[in-house]
Structure 1
C-alpha cells in the first residue's frame, strides 16, 4: 500500500476548516467543517479525532462497517453536545468520509458531501452519495452533475455530523483489487475540478503523491474558493 494526504487553505478562506486522519494502513478520514467563526474548524477536528479514538479502542474487531458507523455516531453526539453547551459553537457541524482497510476488505462510512472515489480499470467510481440539496437533485435525475456545479444552492447540506442529536450514517464494504486507488476528498476539490479531470490526473501519474499534489494544485488554479483536502490510497501486488 502507498498512501499520501494533503490539505490546503485555498485561495479565499482565512482558515482551514478541513481536517483529516491519515493512519496507514488502516484508517483514513476527511472532514469538512461548517459554522461561524472557528466553529467549523472545531467540528471537523473533533469529528475526525473522535473517530480515530473510537477505532483505536474498538473491541469488536470482526465488523468494521459497524465500527465506523458507531464511531461517526459518537462523533455526532460529542459535536452536538458541544454546540449546545457553547454559544459560539451553536449550529456547527461537519461532513465525514471514513475508510477502514482490513486486508483486502475496504469498509466505509459517510455523512455529508465529501466523497470517496474508487479508481479501478481506468474508471472513476463515486462510492458515496452526496447528502446535499444538489446531490439529491442529481440522484433523482432533476439536474445533471454539470448543472450541480453551478447551482445557486450547491452548498446546502441535507445531512451533517453534529447538527442534530441523531444521525443516519451511510456505509458499505467492497473488496480491493491490485492497482486500485481510493480517493477521499472534500468538496473544495470536487467543486473546482471536474470528475473527468480528476480521473485524468489519477491516470497520468504513477506516483500517488504526485496525484495528490496535482489535484490540490489544480483546485487552487481553478479558483480555490474553499479549503481543499485529498487522500490517495493505492493498493499494489
Structure 2
C-alpha cells in the first residue's frame, strides 16, 4: 500500500541551556528519520549527536532498500566513531548520545526502528486517543519502575532521572534495541528527545497532534518551552495519509 508521508521537524535550545546538544535527521528519499540527544558537557554532546546523524546519512542515504539491520548498523557506526573521537580527544571522555531511528516502507504496511537511550518513538494510531510508546528507555529510573521499586509518577521527579544505562559511544559492545511495526494510513509517528517528555504530558501530545497545525513538531516544541523549557527539545512528526 502506498502511503504519503508528511514530515515535520523542530528543535530548540530551550530556555535554560547554553547550547543545543540535540540533533535530528530527515532522509525523505529513503523515509528514514532520527533524533539524537548528546551528552558530555561543553561541545562534546553536540559532537556526539552530530556524529550519530552523520552516520545515519552516510550509511542510509541513497540505499535502495532499508532494513531493520541497517538502522542498527548506523547506530553501531556512530558508536565506533564516537569512541575513536574520545581516544583522540581524551578531554571528551564520557561523551555519548541517544539514538532513535524510524524507517517507513511506503510500498508495504511495515516499518522498522532502532533505539538506544531515553529519546523515544511513539505512534498515535488512527482514531485512537492513546499515545503508544514503542521504544523502552535505557535509564536508571526506568529500571526502577520496571522492578516496581518506584512508580511512574515518582520517576518523573527522581534526582537520577537523567542517568542512562545505555548510550551510543559509552560502551564498546553496544546493544541496540530494534523491531518492526505495522503502519497504516492515518497513523502519526513521533520521535522526540526527553526535553519534550519532561514538560508535555501524553494527553497533551495527543491533543496537539490531533489539532490542525501547520507544523505539529514546532507546536510540540513550543509547548515544552511554555512549560519551562529546562532542556533542549527536539521533535520529528511523521503523518501517514
Secondary structure of 1:214's partner? helix
Cα RMSD over matched residues? 1.5
1:207-236 deviation line (CA, Å, top 9, x unaligned):
4x4422221111011111100000100001
1:73–1:166 contact (8 Å) kept in structure 2: no
Task: Verify: 1:64 aligned to 2:67, yes or no.
Answer: yes
Where does 1:127-142 land on structure 2 (aligned, <5 Å)? Answer: 127-142=134-149
CA distance in 2, matches of 1:178, 1:84: 46
CA offsets 1:153-198 (integer angstroms, 9 cap, x no match): 0000000000121200000111111110000000000111122221
Q: Which runs of 5+ in 1 are unaligned?
A: none
The 3-state SS of whatever aligns with 1:110 is strand
Aligned length: 232
1:119 maps to which of 81, 99, 124: 124
Q: Distance between the aligned counterparts of 2:62 and 2:93, measured in 1?
A: 29
CA distance, structure 1, for counterparts of residue 133 and residue 149 of structure 2: 19
Secondary structure, aligned partner of 1:43: helix
Match of 1:219? 224
Counterpart of 2:212 in structure 1 is 206
Matched with 2:236 is 231
1:32 to 28, 31, 37: 37
Give CA deviations for 1:52-74 in whole Å, capped at 9, x if unaligned. 21112657x3x611111111111
Q: Is residue 2:87 matched to residue 1:84?
A: yes
How far apart in 1 are the matches of 2:208 and 2:147?
29
Structure 2 unaligned residues grouped into runs of 5+: none
Structure 1 stretches of 4+ with a deviation exceeding 3 A read none
Q: Distance in 2 between matches of 1:56 and 1:10?
A: 30
Distance in 1, matches of 2:235 and 2:28, equals 15
Output the CA distance in 2 between the equivalents of 1:190 and 1:183.
Answer: 12
Report the TM-score when normalising by structure 2: 0.92
- How far apart are the structure 2 equivalents of 1:137 and 1:194? 21
Counterpart residue number, 1:100: 103
